[in-house]
Amino acid sequence: MTVENRDSTAVKVVISTALSRVRDLRYVVVDVTTGEIIDDAQGCGYRSVQNAYRAHGYKSASPKKKNQRDAAERKVKDWCAAHPEFMADVEKMALYALKDGAPIAHADVGRLLADHGLELPFSVGVLMRHW
């Protein structure tokens, strides 16, 4: 199997009987055609099906997709470094939201941007993902 074909193989997530305990199920990513374990979270297994699929998607991304993701992260980091007053206010807002037990909302960040008179060259979601 070539490297190109390996990325396009169908996978599924199954419960690993070897890694699971009575009340602590662990999941692994398996190749559908061969039954071979592709990813087992370094021998520990994943705690949920969603986490296993998410990790496999992240690890098996094409180089082009990885470069796009890295470029977006660099763009956000550079923008944050250029606007330290705004980022200090966002961090305060996030701290207060954490104390209240609620996540920081996109609308809150949007209002803070308006208060500072700033516009993002990307979406608020991208800012929140990579800051």
Same domain, 52 and 33: yes
Question: Which pLDDT tens digit goes with each residue over 31-71?
Answer: 999 999 999 999 999 999 999 999 999 999 999 999 999 99
Q: Which of 60, 79, 97 is the last residue of a domain?
A: 60
Its domain, for residue 48, covers: 3-60
42 and 70 in a common domain: no
Domain's final residue, options 45, 60, 75: 60
Looking at residue 105, its pLDDT comes to 87
The answer to whether residues 51 and 76 belong to one domain is: no
The b/e string for 60-96 (b: 16+ C-beta within 10 A; e otherwise) is beeeeeeeeeeeeeeebeebeeebeebeebbeebbee
Residues 68 and 126 in one domain: yes
pLDDT of residue 9: 72
Q: What is the side-by-side order of every strand in the sheet holding 27-31?
A: 11-15, 27-31, 37-39
What total of structural domains would you count in the chain? Answer: 2
Same domain for 54 and 74: no
Residue 21 shares a structural domain with residue 73: no
- Do 69 and 56 lie in a common domain? no
Query: Over the stretch 76-102, which tens digit does the pLDDT of each residue have?
Result: 999 999 999 999 999 999 999 889 888
Hey, what are 97's tokens? 């939201």
Contacts of 71 (CB under 8 A, 6+ apart): none
In this structure, are 37 and 78 located in the same domain?
A: no
Tell whether 82 and 125 lie within a shared domain.
Answer: yes
Residues 72 and 124 in one domain: yes
Same domain? For 15 and 39 the reply is: yes
- How far is it, in rounded angstroms, from Cα 30 to Cα 124? 35
